[in-house]
C-alpha cells in the first residue's frame, strides 16, 4: 500500500518551470532587509543610516531565543532603517542598503572538520547564519534543533514534497544541490541525535528522487529516500509525518517532537550545510517566478531583500493581462498589493495570474455536501468553523478547533458553492490568538 495521509486533495499541478534550470540574478541596486523574517521576536537593528556594510555582516541581533539575525545581502551604504512594505501585508522596520558591490556569496573559509561538528556547534552556526525554515513557515531552525531532553527525536524527515501547484524551486534545488541537501540532513540528524533519516519526494518528481537517492548512496547509504503519491498538502509537517511513519501529531500545542519527529525543508538543509561548512549566512534563496501573468516563467536564485519587481523583470515581465500577484503558491500563498516588497527567507515563489485565472466566482450558500469535511487533513468541520468566524463567535470557533487549522485551503478549493472558507477560518484563528495573547498580558500585569 502506498504511504499517504487521510484527507487532502488534488489541485492541477501547473509545474510550468519544472524543466527550467535555475539562474542567479544580479544583486539588487537597493536591498530591503526586514528585521523580522521569522516566527518569534523581531531582531534588534545593529546598523544606522549612513553606516557602511559588507556582504554577510549581521544587520540585526536576535531579539530572544526564538529569533534569528538578518545579514547584509550586498555590500554598500545603509540608506535608511525605517518602515517599508513587507510580504505580510503591512509596513515593517527594514534596513535599506544601497549596493556598491554584489560582495559575492559571503562564504567564509571552509572548516576542514565541519562534518564532525558537535551538536552544540551545529546549533550555534545555524543560529548565527540566521536560518529560519525555508519551506515558508520561517520558524528559527536552531530552536527546532534543540529539542528538550524529555522529548527525544528518533526520526528526521527531509521535506522535498513541494505539493503546492506551480512551485518548482525545491524541485530544482533537489536536482542542482542534492549532495548539499544530504550533507545538511546529516548535520540535522547529528544535532538532534536521531537514528533514522528519511527524505520524502512526491512521485511527480522522479528525477529529484533519483538525484537524492544517488547522493544518499554515495554519502550515507543508511538514508531512506522515499517516493510518496502526489497529494495536497503532503508537505505540511503533520501530514508528512503521518504519511511516512503512521504517527499522529496531537492537536496544538503539540509539536512533531512530541511523536519523536523533526521535519526540515530541503532548502533549509542546503543553508545548514553552508552555515556549518563555510559559516555562510542566509542571504539568498531559490525562487520560482511563474503563472499565466508572467511572460517567461523561470527559477531564479535571488538575494534576500531583492524587490519582487526585479524577479518579475528577470522572468520577461508581466503579460498585458496580468491581474494578481501572490507570494507563494495558489493554495497557501498571500496576495500582494505591491511588487516593491522584497524576497525574504520564506519566499519560495512569486505567482502572477492573468485576469481569467484570477477571477473569483461569487459565493453561494452552503449546500451541506460535506466535501470540505472529507478533504480536511486535520479532520475539522470547515463549514461550521467558517460560519462561527463570520458570526464572530470566537469561543465557539475555538471549541470547534479553529486553532488546529493548518490553513491549507483544501476546503475552499473543493467547495462547489465557492465559499471562502479558509479566509474566514484564518481570520477567526488570528482573532482567537490575539484575544488569548491579550488575556495573558492582562493576567501578567495583574500578577
Ligand atoms: S479547515 Fe483548515 S486544515 Fe481543514 S481543509 Fe480547511 S484550511 Fe485546510
Ligand atoms: S464544501 Fe461548501 S457547500 Fe459543501 S459543505 Fe462545505 S461549505 Fe458547504
Separation CA 407–CA 238 (nearest Å): 13
Q: Which of 371, 388, 413 to mutate to test the pocket of ligand 2 (most atoms within 8 A of CB)?
A: 371
What average pLDDT does this structure show over 139-154? 96
* Residue 78 domain flag: no
Q: What are phi and psi of 224, to 5 degrees?
A: -95, 125
* Residue 336 domain flag: no
426-431 CB contacts, 8 Å cutoff, 24+ apart: 427/389, 428/385, 428/386, 428/388, 428/389, 428/394, 428/397, 428/402, 429/402, 429/403, 429/405, 431/389, 431/392, 431/394
Q: Would you state the cell numbers that stand for residue 67, as one nine-digit string?
A: 529569533
**Which ligand has its closest atom nearest to the C-alpha of 407?**
1
**Which ligand has its closest atom nearest to the C-alpha of 376?**
1
pLDDT in tens, 178-213: 999 999 999 999 999 999 999 999 999 999 999 999
Q: What CATH number is associated with residue 154?
A: 3.40.50.11540
Whether 239 lines ligand 1, by a CB cut-off of 6 Å, is no
Separation CA 339–CA 94 (nearest Å): 16
- Asked if residues 101 and 35 have their Cβ atoms less than 8 Å apart, the reply is no
Separation CA 102–CA 348 (nearest Å): 22
Separation CA 86–CA 119 (nearest Å): 34
Name which of 69, 68, 212, 184 is nearest 117 in CA terms.
Answer: 184
Residue 1 predicted with pLDDT over 60? no
pLDDT in tens, 263-275: 999 999 999 999 9
Whether 378 lines ligand 1, by a CB cut-off of 6 Å, is yes
Average pLDDT in the chain? 96
Of the residues 235, 260, 278, which one is the last residue of a structural domain? 278
What average pLDDT does this structure show over 221-235? 96
Atom of ligand 1 nearest to the CA of 422: 7
Cβ count near 279 (within 10 Å): 18
Atom of ligand 2 nearest to the CA of 373: 6
- Say if residue 241 is in the same domain as residue 382: no
* Residue 377 domain flag: yes
Q: Tell me, in angstroms, the distance from the centre of ligand 2 to residue 401's CA.
A: 17
pLDDT given for residue 12 in this prediction? 97
pLDDT confidence tier of residue 242, bands split at 50, 70 and 90: very high
In total, how many domains does the chain have? Answer: 2
pTM, to two decimals: 0.95
* Residue 107 domain flag: no
What average pLDDT does this structure show over 421-441? 94
Separation CA 390–CA 355 (nearest Å): 28
Separation CA 194–CA 189 (nearest Å): 5
CB burial of 27-64 (b: ≥16 within 10 Å; e: otherwise) equals bbebbbbbbbbbbbebbebbbeeebebebbbbbbebbe
Q: Would you state the cell numbers that stand for residue 50, as one nine-digit string?
A: 549612513
- Asked if residues 265 and 134 have their Cβ atoms less than 8 Å apart, the reply is yes
Instruction: Look up the domain containing 397 and give its range.
Output: 371-446
pLDDT in tens, 71-121: 999 999 999 999 999 998 889 999 999 999 776 788 889 999 999 999 999
pLDDT given for residue 39 in this prediction? 87
258, HSE (Cβ side, Cα atoms, 13 Å): 10
Q: Which of 366, 372, 382, 415 to mutate to test the pocket of ligand 1 (most atoms within 8 A of CB)?
A: 382
**Which ligand has its closest atom nearest to the C-alpha of 384?**
2
Category of 56 on φ-ψ map: left (φ > 0), alpha (ψ -120 to 50) or beta: left
* Residue 146 domain flag: yes
3-state secondary structure of 316: coil
* Residue 178 domain flag: yes
**Which ligand has its closest atom nearest to the C-alpha of 381?**
1
Q: Tell me, in angstroms, the distance from the centre of ligand 2 to residue 367's CA.
A: 6
Residues 6+ apart with CB under 8 A from 116: none
Three-state secondary structure of 347-415:
CCEEEEEEHHHHCCCCCCCCCCCCHHHHHCCCCCCHHHHHHHHHCCCHHHHHHCCHHHCCCCCHHHHHC
pLDDT in tens, 158-168: 999 999 999 99
Q: Establish whether the linkage from the previous residue to 233 is cis, with ω within 30° of 0.
A: yes
* Residue 99 domain flag: no
- Residues in the ligand 2 pocket, defined by CB under 6 Å: 366-372, 383, 414-417, 419, 421
- Say if residue 378 is in the same domain as residue 263: no
Separation CA 169–CA 345 (nearest Å): 13
Nearest CA to ligand 2 atom 6: 372
Nearest CA to ligand 1 atom 4: 376
3-state secondary structure of 133: coil
pLDDT given for residue 4 in this prediction? 87
Nearest CA to ligand 2 atom 1: 415
Q: Which of 386, 415, 418, 424 to mutate to test the pocket of ligand 2 (most atoms within 8 A of CB)?
A: 415
pLDDT given for residue 136 in this prediction? 76
* Residue 129 domain flag: yes
- Say if residue 141 is in the same domain as residue 250: yes
pLDDT given for residue 447 in this prediction? 80
Of the residues 278, 301, 320, which one is the last residue of a structural domain? 278
End-to-end C-alpha distance for the chain, whole angstroms: 55
Q: What are phi and psi of 184, to 5 degrees?
A: -65, -40
Whether 396 lines ligand 1, by a CB cut-off of 6 Å, is no
What average pLDDT does this structure show over 147-164? 97
Residue 433 predicted with pLDDT over 80? yes
The pLDDT > 90 percentage for the chain reads: 92
Nearest CA to ligand 1 atom 1: 382
- Say if residue 269 is in the same domain as residue 393: no
What's the chain's length in residues? 447
- Say if residue 128 is in the same domain as residue 246: yes
Of the residues 221, 248, 278, which one is the last residue of a structural domain? 278
Q: Tell me, in angstroms, the distance from the centre of ligand 1 to residue 405's CA.
A: 5
Q: Tell me, in angstroms, the distance from the centre of ligand 1 to residue 231's CA.
A: 14
- Say if residue 264 is in the same domain as residue 397: no
Separation CA 88–CA 103 (nearest Å): 28
Residue 444 predicted with pLDDT over 90? no
Amino acid at each position: 500500500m502506498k504511504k499517504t495521509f487521510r484527507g487532502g486533495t488534488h489541485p492541477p499541478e501547473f509545474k510550468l518551470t519544472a524543466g527550467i534550470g535555475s539562474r542567479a540574478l544580479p544583486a539588487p541596486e537597493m536591498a530591503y532587509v526586514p528585521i523580522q523574517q521569522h516566527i518569534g521576536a523581531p531582531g534588534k537593528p545593529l546598523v544606522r543610516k549612513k553606516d557602511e556594510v559588507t556582504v554577510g555582516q549581521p544587520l540585526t541581533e536576535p531579539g530572544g531565543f526564538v529569533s534569528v539575525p538578518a545579514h547584509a545581502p550586498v555590500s554598500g551604504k545603509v540608506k535608511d532603517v525605517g518602515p517599508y512594505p513587507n510580504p505580510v501585508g503591512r509596513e515593517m522596520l527594514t534596513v535599506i542598503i544601497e549596493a556598491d558591490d554584489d560582495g559575492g556569496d559571503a562564504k567564509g573559509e571552509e572548516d576542514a572538520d565541519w562534518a564532525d561538528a558537535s551538536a552544540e556547534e551545529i546549533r550555534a552556526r545555524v543560529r548565527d547564519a540566521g536560518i529560519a525554515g525555508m519551506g515558508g513557515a520561517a520558524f528559527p531552525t536552531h530552536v527546532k534543533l534543540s529539542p528538550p531532553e524529555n522529548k527525544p527525536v528518533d526520526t528526521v524527515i527531509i521535506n522535498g514534497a513541494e505539493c503546492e501547484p506551480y512551485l518548482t524551486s525545491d524541485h530544482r534545488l533537489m536536482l542542482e544541490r542534492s549532495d548539499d541537501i544530504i550533507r545538511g540532513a546529516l548535520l540535522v540528524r547529528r544535532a538532534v541525535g536521531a537514528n533514522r533519516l528519511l527524505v520524502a519526494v512526491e512521485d511527480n518528481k522522479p528525477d529529484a528522487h533519483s538525484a537524492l537517492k544517488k547522493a544518499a548512496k554515495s554519502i550515507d547509504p543508511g538514508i531512506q529516500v522515499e517516493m510518496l503519491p502526489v497529494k495536497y498538502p503532503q508537505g505540511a509537517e503533520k501530514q508528512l509525518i503521518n504519511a511516512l511513519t503512521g504517527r499522529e501529531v496531537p492537536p496544538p500545542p503539540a509539536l512533531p517532537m512530541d511523536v519523536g519527529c523533526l521535519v526540515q525543508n530541503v532548502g533549509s538543509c542546503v543553508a545548514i550545510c553552508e552555515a556549518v561548512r563555510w559559516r555562510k549566512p542566509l542571504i539568498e534563496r531559490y525562487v520560482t517566478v511563474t503563472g499565466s501573468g508572467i511572460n517567461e516563467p523561470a527559477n531564479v536564485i535571488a538575494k534576500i531583500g531583492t524587490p519582487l519587481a526585479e524577479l518579475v523583470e528577470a522572468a520577461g515581465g508581466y503579460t498585458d493581462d496580468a491581474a494578481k500577484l501572490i507570494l507563494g503558491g495558489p493554495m497557501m500563498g498571500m496576495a500582494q498589493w505591491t511588487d516593491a516588497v522584497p524576497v525574504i527567507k520564506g519566499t519560495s515563489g512569486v505567482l502572477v495570474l492573468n485576469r481569467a485565472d484570477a477571477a473569483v466566482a461569487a459565493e453561494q450558500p452552503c449546500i451541506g455536501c460535506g466535501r470540505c469535511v472529507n478533504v480536511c487533513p486535520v479532520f475539522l468541520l470547515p463549514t461550521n468553523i467558517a460560519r462561527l468566524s463570520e458570526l464572530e463567535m470566537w469561543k465557539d470557533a475555538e471549541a470547534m478547533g479553529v486553532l488546529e487549522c493548518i490553513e491549507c485551503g483544501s476546503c475552499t478549493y473543493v467547495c462547489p458553492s465557492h465559499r471562502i472558507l479558509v479566509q474566514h477560518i484564518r481570520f477567526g484563528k488570528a482573532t482567537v490568538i490575539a484575544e488569548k495573547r491579550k488575556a495573558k498580558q492582562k493576567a501578567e500585569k495583574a500578577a
